[in-house]
Structure 1
Amino acid sequence: MPDRVTLAAVAAAAGVSVGTVSRALAGRGDLAPATRRRVLAAARSLGYAKDPAGGGRPPGSARLVDLVLGWYHNAYSDEVTAGARSAAAAAGYDLVLTEERDIPDDDWPMRIRRRGSAGVVLGLISPTASQLGALTDAGIPVVLMDPQAESSRGLTSVRTTDREGGAAAARHLAERGATRFALVLGSPPYRYGRARNAGFREGLRLVRPGADLVAMQADWGAAAAREAATPVLRGLKPGERLGVFACSDEMAAGVYAAAAATGRRIPDEVLVVGFDDLRGARWLTPPMTTLHQPIREMAAAAVTALTDAAAGAELPSSPIVLPTRLIERGST
């Protein structure tokens, strides 16, 4: 049997002291992020296996599940939190809210390691290799909710039927009498945005082959969507009805603002379909037709997969996919 890799060997490979290695692997101490990453990389390369008796909680011992988002206190994160909290409570776990901060020394994976969480849900986050490595080395499983990239790096993911939702938007706008069509696409073009775009184009080709379609780019926000849509709406000719599909409700709200700025009436001249069905969609005037994304249910499914895994089940190897549905309101 080969000799067990020691802390001294890891320290030599990383060029640091044994004490620094011990603190880095245990998630303790005030270490520079680069140093911590170097130690973890050396430990992985050498195949170091931490002795559970060496300190810190083993994964799952605290009956906690971490939810990591890039931001809180908005309509999307409120839905995610509500769904995750309900599923955690039903399984007898507490939910910890962790915010990923876009700063170099943010050590949220190490904080999760110190807590001994049973698992981590990452919402709308593309984790780095070192972040995933810090969790994997501690035996803490990860589920990606609505991953931004197509590749999930072998991790379990939860998503919705983005492509089918886009196709449903195209069919609906055609059925409601649109004579021209427009797409408001999110930039950067994340996986779910690309799928919604592709689905809309496919659906439109089936119901209106050769239809006039213009695509606009916005930064997933209302202000940029208003700026992109304004010249298109201003160029509408008498008698035309423009059917607009925005890849998020927030961008669709920007189309509303562009319609107001150009004097175009919704739904008489401009038909609008969003995506998400966040609470603000029904408060607009007129209320917005949108694709309902089952955000609460997706978050609950992610947490349930982790708590089931803590009880001995295998994490699903293929994505968990929950369906969208079109919610028709006054904008169409």
Structure 2
Amino acid sequence: MSSRVTLVAVAAEAGVSVGTASRALSGRGDLAPATRRRVLTAARELGYLRDPGLGGRPSRSALLLDLVLGSYHNAYSDEVTAGARSAAAVAGYDLVLTEERDTPDDDWPMRIHRRGSAGVVLGLIAPTAAQLAALTHADIPVVLMDPRAETSRGLTSVQTTDREGGLAAALHLAERGATRFAIVLGSPPYRYGRARNTGFRAGLRLVRPGAELAAVQADWGGASARQAVLPLLRALRPGERLGVFACSDEMAAGVYAAAAATGRRIPEDVLVVGFDDLRGARWLTPPLTTVRQPIREMAAAAVTALAEAAGGAVLAPSPIVLPARLIPRGST
């Protein structure tokens, strides 16, 4: 007598009909996300294994890879897309761009499941346990691009050396003659922001132990950073040079705006270092000194890892780490 879990048992556990359970597991049908999640959870907890002959994800994946981002309307996503698309083409895959919608009914894992993608890169988003479970149940490998949290839930991730980048920023500002220091932290305090903060503080302890350091918070945007930094610039005394490390280029642009509003000159009165090296960094006046994270290369590494997994390689849970590099420009 077989002890294999049946579709009937999954349906009963989830409190739905057998037809509804079948549609949920195969990625078909217009089902409420909550219903689909309930069926997937029941299947996972019972250990249900779907017969490939019953439909659902093709036994052989399509030559597609999905890139899932929260937005495709900024310089960061442009860099990620360019790197991912190039690597996908080299590997013989087409790249599908999927935008995560911040709504309760967003069911992007099921859309990916239905088209039979060979793998998924998740960039700068925090997938829920249910979303990851849906991909796992469909046997679709996942790589996290620059994850927001330290825990990657056993998944492969691609990161840069955020801590070392922050440390390099501190050493550079000290070497360029800053007498006081400030750091603009992003809120929420994501993994990479915390690492940059840790590195910057470690660098100051190395070269300027006891130096005055002011920490302010912004919402990762320029307008918020401008407001956060204004009091520091207004308090500058004659002869002082404030060295500011902003944990993103966008927040560094807010420091520029605050300097203009208070009559402070960059780099004579205020030295500024950002993080990212997105295209706008070179367009600021003066051009922004920043820590370059290799975004295109990181996206390419994520896609390459998925293509190799589709060919039978095992995705390791350890991160793939590519080095960040300080790019000195006119702001220091």
- What band does the TM-score fall into relative to the shorter chain? over 0.9
Distance 2:61 2:218 in 1: 44
Shift of 1:5: 1.3
Letter of the structure 2 residue corresponding to residue 213 of structure 1: L
2:255 corresponds to: 255
1:176-255, aligned counterparts within 5 Å? 176-255=176-255
Asked whether the 8 Å contact 2:84–2:303 carries over to 1, the reply is: yes
Is residue 127 of structure 2 the alignment partner of residue 124 of structure 1? no
Asked whether the 8 Å contact 2:272–2:288 carries over to 1, the reply is: yes
Is residue 12 of structure 2 the alignment partner of residue 5 of structure 1? no
Classify the secondary structure of the residue corresponding to 2:203.
helix
1:44 corresponds to: 44
Identity of aligned residues (%): 83
2:155 corresponds to: 155
Asked whether the 8 Å contact 1:143–1:302 carries over to 2, the reply is: yes
Letter of the structure 1 residue corresponding to residue 134 of structure 2: A
1:28 corresponds to: 28
Is residue 13 of structure 2 the alignment partner of residue 17 of structure 1? no
Distance 1:54 1:247 in 2: 50
Asked whether the 8 Å contact 1:59–1:113 carries over to 2, the reply is: no
2:72 corresponds to: 72
1:312 corresponds to: 312
Distance 2:33 2:326 in 1: 45
Distance 1:229 1:73 in 2: 26
1:175 corresponds to: 175
Distance 1:316 1:82 in 2: 25
2:85 corresponds to: 85
Distance 1:34 1:13 in 2: 14
CA deviation profile, 1:88-124 (whole Å, cap 9, x unmatched): 0000000000000000110100000111111000000
Asked whether the 8 Å contact 2:57–2:138 carries over to 1, the reply is: no
Letter of the structure 2 residue corresponding to residue 207 of structure 1: V
Distance 2:59 2:52 in 1: 10
Classify the secondary structure of the residue corresponding to 1:49.
coil
Classify the secondary structure of the residue corresponding to 2:244.
strand
CA deviation profile, 1:152-191 (whole Å, cap 9, x unmatched): 0000000000000000000000000000000000000000
CA RMSD of aligned residues (A): 0.9
Letter of the structure 2 residue corresponding to residue 180 of structure 1: R
Extract unaligned runs of 5+ from structure 2.
none
**What is the TM-score normalised by the length of structure 1?**
0.99
Classify the secondary structure of the residue corresponding to 1:130.
helix
Is residue 285 of structure 2 the alignment partner of residue 289 of structure 1? no
- Counting matched residue pairs gives 332
Classify the secondary structure of the residue corresponding to 2:315.
coil
Shift of 1:61: 1.9
Distance 1:140 1:59 in 2: 11
Letter of the structure 1 residue corresponding to residue 117 of structure 2: S
1:277 corresponds to: 277
**What is the TM-score normalised by the length of structure 2?**
0.99
Change (3 A) 1:59 1:153: farther
Shift of 1:272: 0.2
Shift of 1:28: 1.3
Classify the secondary structure of the residue corresponding to 2:240.
coil
Classify the secondary structure of the residue corresponding to 1:58.
coil
Classify the secondary structure of the residue corresponding to 1:111.
helix
Asked whether the 8 Å contact 1:113–1:135 carries over to 2, the reply is: yes
Change (3 A) 1:60 1:305: farther
Distance 2:273 2:7 in 1: 58
Distance 1:60 1:322 in 2: 32
Shift of 1:59: 6.3
Classify the secondary structure of the residue corresponding to 1:313.
coil
Shift of 1:267: 0.2
Structure 1: 4+ residue segments shifted above 2 A: 56-60
Distance 2:106 2:61 in 1: 24
Extract unaligned runs of 5+ from structure 1.
none
Letter of the structure 2 residue corresponding to residue 11 of structure 1: A
CA deviation profile, 1:217-238 (whole Å, cap 9, x unmatched): 0000000000000011010000
Asked whether the 8 Å contact 1:59–1:139 carries over to 2, the reply is: no
Distance 1:175 1:278 in 2: 24
Letter of the structure 1 residue corresponding to residue 311 of structure 2: A
Asked whether the 8 Å contact 1:26–1:56 carries over to 2, the reply is: yes
2:266 corresponds to: 266
The 10-residue stretch of structure 1 (2-11 or 88-97) with the greater mean CA deviation from structure 2: 2-11
Classify the secondary structure of the residue corresponding to 2:34.
helix
